[in-house]
Amino acid sequence: MTVSVYEEIAFWILGPLSLAGALGMLFSRSAVHSALWLVLTMLSLGVLYMVQDAPFLGIVQIIVYTGAIMMLFLFVLMLAGRESSDSVVEVLRGQRIWASLLGIGLAGLVVAGVARSLGDVTPAGLDNPAANGSGGPGNVANIGQSLFTRYLFPFELTSALLITAAIGAMVLAYTRKQAKGGKNRQREMVNMRFRENTRPGALPGPGVFATADSVATPALLPDGSIAKESLSRIIETTPVTQIEEDEALADRHPDAHALTGAARDGDDGASIVASPASEERSE
Amino acid sequence: MTTPASLPDIDYAGVAPVLIILGAACIGVLLEAFVPRSQRWAVQVVLSLLAIVVAAIALGAYLYTGPQNTSTFAGSIALDRPALFLWGTLLALGLGSILLIADRVVEPGGAFVAQAGIRPGTMLDKEQANRSSMQTEVFPLALFSLAGMMIFCSANDLLSMFVALEVLSLPLYLMCGLARRRRLLSQEAAVKYFLLGAFASAFFLYGVALLYGYANSVKLADIANAAGGTNRSDALLFLGMGLLLIGLLFKGSVGPFHTWTPDVYQGAPTPMTAFMGACTKVAAFGAILRVLMVAFGSTHWEWQTIMWVVAGISMLLGAILGITQTDVKRMIAYSSVAHAGFLLVGVLALDGSGIRATLFYLISYGFTTIAAFGVVSLVRDGTGESTSLSSWAGLGKRSPLLAGIFTFLLLALAGIPLTSGFVSKFVVFAAGMSAGITPLVVLGLIASTIAAFFYLRVIVLMYFSEPAADGPTVTLPGMYTTAAITLGTLVTLLLGVYPSFMLDWAGTGGFVV
Amino acid sequence: MSARELIANDPTWLSLVKAVLVFALLLVITILLIWFERRVLGRMQQRPGPNRVGPFGLLQTVADALKLAFKEDIRPKLADNWVYFLAPAISAGAAFLAFSVIPLGGQVNLFGYQTSLQLADMPVSLLVVLACSSVGVYGIVLGGWSSGSPYPLLGALRSAAQVISYEIAMGLSFVAVILFAGSLSTGDIVDAQGQGGVWYAFLLPVSFVIYVISMVGETNRAPFDLAEAESELIGGYHTEYSSIKFAMFFLGEYVNMVTVSAVATTLFLGGWHAPFWLGGVGGGVLNTGWWPLLWFLLKVVFMLFIFVWLRGALPRMRYDQFMKLGWKVLVPVNLVWIVAVVAVRTMRNTGVGTAQLLTIIGIVVVVVLAIVLLLPNRPAASDVEEVPVTGGDHPLPPLDLEVPKVPKRKPVAAAPAPELSAEEEGVPDGRA
């Protein structure tokens, strides 16, 4: 069994890449970056499999691990927010050092053992007819053969695992609030809005008639005063509470035209509070 | 072009018990979707109990035909005597656990939360604590777990064993987090169990990969052949075996791999703790027994010293740390670590008497554990179960019957004569002596003595202390819990007084290769 | 010789030439596609569409692309530098990569070599398409996340959920095709629909319809363009992008459209084979040489027309309806369909005759119909407790609605005229 030049080139590119990905995952500060490094490792491994005559395995590695699992990871990380990073406080004293030492020790042990025992083994290779089963050449058909003959039972048993996982997700996440009658539907919301007799129409959007169209700038009403309800309370960077404070303080509306999108730049919130000059002007 | 795949031979009569349990679990899932919420509990209880009984009948019918030691599903599932015995054990213990799970009298609505999706500590959560419903998905989940355990201890290749390991673990992780009271503690237990369990599974899988590299097969018999027949470097074999065993010993909460046990036992809903304590142990030790004897039996001279050390550590750790515990559930958890050490003595005998002793130990320990946790669930105060040892003071005066039963069970755990605990310890140590591991047996005796101290301390506390004025009350158990406790206690007594029939059953055969 | 064997004999330089050709082809198609889309949309909306730059406005897209490349490259302050840069590249790269396994034609003579008009073919080519689309989502998701702004993030989350869900429906609709072709290789699948074979669109209509629906969802196109729904999310994941990076996203999206259309052609419309009776003309001469490229491109253009047609005809779906369609309709229908296909094939393989087969199918249909008829009707929702409605079924506003008082107008100092953002005009034709 010889190693072709292309295979060697591929190895020397993908090997270091996957290693770099693994190390990058360990050492990057942001969780999303960690996940991305891991994606790199998985992609490199997938391509390595393909180079070694296992295209099915390689592609499935990419579809399943990169496409599905890591995507779900990213999904959760993005929902959790970008500021959330690991706490660096050690709960157990000296844990980091010991964990690193023991981890490196275990890795060394395993690598040494594997290297020693595989040093003089000749690989069979997947393109070798002897390595292929009754399914003929290529490993797609052979994987199918194995799954439905030799490993039929574990293969079927996996369905039990998947059912359990699905039920588990539902048990942990589903509350009757999501069921019928638990939460208001669109139609019920509309009805409610009309019954309550307050504001049947939509709220004004931020930035309308203002000097900037950012979400942080409130809309202006026809008389030039500020429409506070145009700011979303759930977006942190909008100055909705600040406007209320300013109003209470000054006992009048701040100058609408002094409002810009860069509302939170200064610590003193100067751009929100009416500047003395503009105050005069508005009187 | 490819040749069409033909199905392997399947011995349907032999695997019927497993298929029945799996099928019932799937039906249970469908029932969740189609049965109105108010009727689900009743339907699920009937279905689960019925499934276990039918599976036991199928098992009995298969045994009645006098089967040979065979394997089916292309050698994935072994149908040998130890496997069938363990299936029987698991079904019996599963029955007891389902009875405990089904109880809705002790805790109105059952020990499981009404809706797991509600965040703990919110208004909705307080409201649901008093609602008399529960998350009935627990029943199919428990059945899935039970089926996984049955497959786990009869899996004849490492791949099936791994999938079975996950099938048995995943529902357990989930159900640990579903306690009705002290939900944060329960969820913490679930997360700990899940993370550590996933980690242990990774070890197991890595071991399987290395063993496959060594033997070019995942079948246990092929690994044994490869180990016997070549002069290759054994580094892969022993690395693989070590990693594999870490995964297995973790599940059996043995020795230094036990750290999840106390937290999870304490946080999980008590019926779940009983299920885990009894059934998981059976499954894990069934698998350890099979792996060590079938796959690695031929090389035991090279690794048995390490396993002796593990067994010794497990016994001593469990016994010594058990003394320092102030919580009943944690105390039983540490006692289970010590028992895991004793069980390993039987396993390490590596012969027919060892198998017999281990199988007997498993069934007697399982029943005692279920009954003990059944009793624990009865001692309650305003916030739920009162598991602190101090609140058990003077229980003998307040509720003599319950205290009597618990005393008996503790004596069984300690291994006092006339209980099954004594007989099982005796056969295990006897097997160890005859196999020539005398130092370990001596260590076992010392550890039993230490462990007996903390069992006796509880007994002393129950009978010779004054009950606190605002202490817990003993709830009158409902039908199901009564049945479970009675079952456990009776079996403990029966196996203590008349153990020979069970020993005969346990000793009828070895593993199929 | 099968396509795979032909391609395996390619020298390295030929593969490189083919790669460049495919790349160029995709760029040209994209440029023409944008023009095509705007012209067709224009016709549907009773207006001319672009007709100023070049003959019939053909060069409009080139002009737009050039302009876009010279725009200012804006990077938000909160953006995550590397990821912000990486995202468009992934999006476009993955889109191009998927096209490499599409067979554009049969055996041709290219620079003196007998080869197949296909860049690469593997035993698992079909999975490569799925893999590329699943990697392509990273572009969208990371672009949305790294912008550091809420709307792109929402768009990215929607897109991730959407693409993953529809990839399942898409993958399942491949299954029936794979069962019939007996191979995962695109070359073999096209061959199986060739001489004497039936196009799988006619043989497996359910799979085809589901594929067409899910390919629209997969490419984030109207009516499923929820990831960039401008009425809700401004521009979705690419809100903060401008200049060449935006152009990359744009390119990725259109190349993706071409790719999924090409996959539809390959799997269901007979690939490069001449349509209908034309294959028989002159003893099959229209299926040799460079003719197949023409048929292939015509079929792809047909699929692209469907894309444009959908965009012109349908309003955008609501997000929850869209997910419901994917999970509760497409996936279950697909599963039932696959089971039916497998059952029929097994019966054919075991020698059940056509008459018997039809009888069995008839019995199954009757049983299903009987069950459906026996199911009790869902009780209609009562209208009591509802808000009064007008004739058009709209809720009637309360008659005593208080109109807020109009505040007195105050004289206000003149504000500086709001600057029109150059970006708004720069986007070719917007994403309307």
> If pLDDT is split at 50, 70 and 90, which confidence band does B288 have?
very high
Q: What is the rounded average pLDDT for all residues in chain A?
A: 75
Q: Does A104 touch chain B (CB under 8 A)?
A: no
Q: Residue A167: beta bridge partners?
A: none
Q: Which domain holds residue B310?
A: 12-506
Which residues of C fall within a CB distance of 8 Å from A30?
80
Angle at B180 between CA B391 and CA B331, to 5 degrees: 40
Smallest CA-to-CA distance from B374 within B448, B469, B274, B474 is with: B274
> If pLDDT is split at 50, 70 and 90, which confidence band does C397 have?
low
* Range ranked top by mean pLDDT from B124-128, B180-184, C330-334: C330-334
Secondary structure (3-state) at B196: helix
Q: State the Cα–Cα distance between residues C233 and B22, nearest whole angstrom.
A: 47
Please determine, for residue C343, whether its predicted confidence score (pLDDT) is greater than 70.
Answer: yes
> If pLDDT is split at 50, 70 and 90, which confidence band does A273 have?
very low
Please determine, for residue B140, whether its predicted confidence score (pLDDT) is greater than 90.
Answer: yes
Tell if the CB–CB gap between A68 and C134 is shorter than 8 Å. yes
Q: Which residue of C has its CA nearest to A280?
A: C413
Which tens digit of pLDDT belongs to each residue from A48-75? Answer: 988 887 888 888 888 888 888 888 888 8
Per the structure block, which two tokens stand in for C94?
């993955």
pLDDT at position B230, please?
A: 67
> If pLDDT is split at 50, 70 and 90, which confidence band does A276 have?
very low
Q: Which residue has the higher pLDDT, C382 or A104?
A: A104
Q: Which residue has the higher pLDDT, B265 or C287?
A: B265
User: Which of A102, A158, A171, A174 should be substituted to probe chain B, the one whose Cβ sees the most B Cβ atoms within 10 Å?
Assistant: A171
Rounded alpha-carbon distances, angstroms, from residue C144 to A75, A160, C140, C365, C423: 11, 36, 6, 47, 18
Which residues of A fall within a CB distance of 8 Å from C141?
71, 74-75, 78
Residue B7 lies in a domain: no
Q: Which of B5, B77, B148 lies nearest to residue A148, judging by beta carbons?
A: B5
> If pLDDT is split at 50, 70 and 90, which confidence band does B335 have?
very high
Q: Which residue has the higher pLDDT, A253 or C200?
A: C200
Q: What's at B138, amino acid-wise?
A: V
Distance (Å) from the C-alpha of residue A33 to the closest C-alpha of chain B? 22
Q: What's at C382, amino acid-wise?
A: S
Q: State the Cα–Cα distance between residues A58 and A72, nearest whole angstrom.
A: 20
> Quick one: DSSP state of residue C70?
T
Distance (Å) from the C-alpha of residue A1 to the closest C-alpha of chain C? 20
Tell if the CB–CB gap between C145 and A224 is shorter than 8 Å. no
3-state SS track over chain A: CCCCHHHHHHHHHHHHHHHHHHHHHHHCCCHHHHHHHHHHHHHHHHHHHHHCCCHHHHHHHHHHHHHHHHHHHHHHHHHHCCCCCCCCCCCCCCHHHHHHHHHHHHHHHHHHHHHHHHCCCCCCCCCCHHHCCCCCCCHHHHHHHHHHCCCHHHHHHHHHHHHHHHHHHHHHHCCHHHCCCCCCCHHHHHHHHHHCCCCCCCCCCCCCCCCCCCCCCCEECCCCCEEHHHCCCCCCCCCHHHHHHHHHHHCCCCCHHHCCCCCCCCCCCCCCCCCHHHHHHHC
Please determine, for residue C30, whether its predicted confidence score (pLDDT) is greater than 80.
Answer: yes
Q: State the Cα–Cα distance between residues A121 and B278, nearest whole angstrom.
A: 45
Please determine, for residue B264, whether its predicted confidence score (pLDDT) is greater than 70.
Answer: yes
Which tens digit of pLDDT belongs to each residue from B457-508? Answer: 889 988 888 877 777 778 888 888 899 999 999 999 999 888 888 888 887 7
Please determine, for residue A127, whether its predicted confidence score (pLDDT) is greater than 70.
Answer: no
* Range ranked top by mean pLDDT from A17-26, B463-472, C235-244: A17-26
pLDDT at position B310, please?
A: 92
User: Which of A117, A158, A176 should be substituted to probe chain B, the one whose Cβ sees the most B Cβ atoms within 10 Å?
Assistant: A117
Distance of CA B334 to the CA centre of its chain: 14
- Asked if residue B152 lies in contact with residue B286, where contact means CB atoms within 8 angstroms, the answer is yes
Give the β-pairing of B384-385 and B379-381.
Answer: antiparallel
Q: State the Cα–Cα distance between residues B356 and B367, nearest whole angstrom.
A: 17
Which tens digit of pLDDT belongs to each residue from B185-219? Answer: 899 999 999 999 999 999 999 999 989 888 888 88
Which tens digit of pLDDT belongs to each residue from B70-83? Answer: 888 888 888 888 89
Tell me which of A213-217, C100-104, C211-215 is least confident: A213-217
Residue B32 lies in a domain: yes
Smallest CA-to-CA distance from C171 within C260, C300, C297 is with: C260
pLDDT at position A275, please?
A: 40
Q: State the Cα–Cα distance between residues B45 and B213, nearest whole angstrom.
A: 46
> Quick one: DSSP state of residue C115?
E
> Quick one: DSSP state of residue C277?
G
Please determine, for residue C341, whether its predicted confidence score (pLDDT) is greater than 90.
Answer: no
Tell me which of B41-55, B327-341, C111-125, C201-215 is least confident: C111-125
Please determine, for residue C192, whether its predicted confidence score (pLDDT) is greater than 50.
Answer: yes
Give the contacts of B475 (CB within 8 A, at least 6 positions apart): B105, B106, B378, B379, B380
Domain boundaries, chain A: 219-282
Please determine, for residue C194, whether its predicted confidence score (pLDDT) is greater than 90.
Answer: no
Give the contacts of B491 (CB within 8 A, at least 6 positions apart): B363, B364, B367, B420
Residue B1 lies in a domain: no
- Asked if residue C290 lies in contact with residue C108, where contact means CB atoms within 8 angstroms, the answer is yes
Q: Which residue has the higher pLDDT, A164 or C153?
A: A164
Which residues of C fall within a CB distance of 8 Å from A68?
134, 164
Q: State the Cα–Cα distance between residues A2 and A4, nearest whole angstrom.
A: 6
Stretch C175-186: mean pLDDT = 85
Which tens digit of pLDDT belongs to each residue from C66-107? Answer: 888 888 888 888 788 888 888 899 988 988 888 888 888 777
Give the contacts of C355 (CB within 8 A, at least 6 positions apart): none
Which residues of B fall within a CB distance of 8 Å from A161?
163, 166-167, 170
Please determine, for residue B328, whether its predicted confidence score (pLDDT) is greater than 50.
Answer: yes
- Number of Cβ within a 10 Å radius of residue B69: 16
Which residues of B fall within a CB distance of 8 Å from A171?
116-117, 135, 137, 174, 178
Which tens digit of pLDDT belongs to each residue from A220-250? Answer: 887 777 777 787 777 766 666 677 676 666 6
Percentage, residues of chain B above pLDDT 70: 98
Please determine, for residue A181, whether its predicted confidence score (pLDDT) is greater than 60.
Answer: no
Stretch C339-351: mean pLDDT = 82
Please determine, for residue C112, whether its predicted confidence score (pLDDT) is greater than 60.
Answer: yes
Overall number of domains in chain B: 1
Chains that touch C (3 or more CB pairs under 8 A): A
Which residues of B fall within a CB distance of 8 Å from A117?
213-214, 232-236
pLDDT at position C408, please?
A: 67
pLDDT at position B194, please?
A: 93
Tell if the CB–CB gap between A149 and B147 is shorter than 8 Å. no
Q: What are phi and psi of C374, to 5 degrees?
A: -75, -20
Please determine, for residue A172, whether its predicted confidence score (pLDDT) is greater than 80.
Answer: yes
Q: Which residue has the higher pLDDT, B55 or C240?
A: B55
Q: State the Cα–Cα distance between residues A93 and A76, nearest whole angstrom.
A: 30
pLDDT at position C383, please?
A: 55
- Asked if residue C221 lies in contact with residue C43, where contact means CB atoms within 8 angstroms, the answer is no
Please determine, for residue C430, whether its predicted confidence score (pLDDT) is greater than 50.
Answer: no
pLDDT at position A44, please?
A: 92
> If pLDDT is split at 50, 70 and 90, which confidence band does C386 have?
low
CA dihedral for A166, A168, A169, A175, sign (positive or negative): positive
Tell me which of A123-137, A197-211, B91-105 is least confident: A123-137
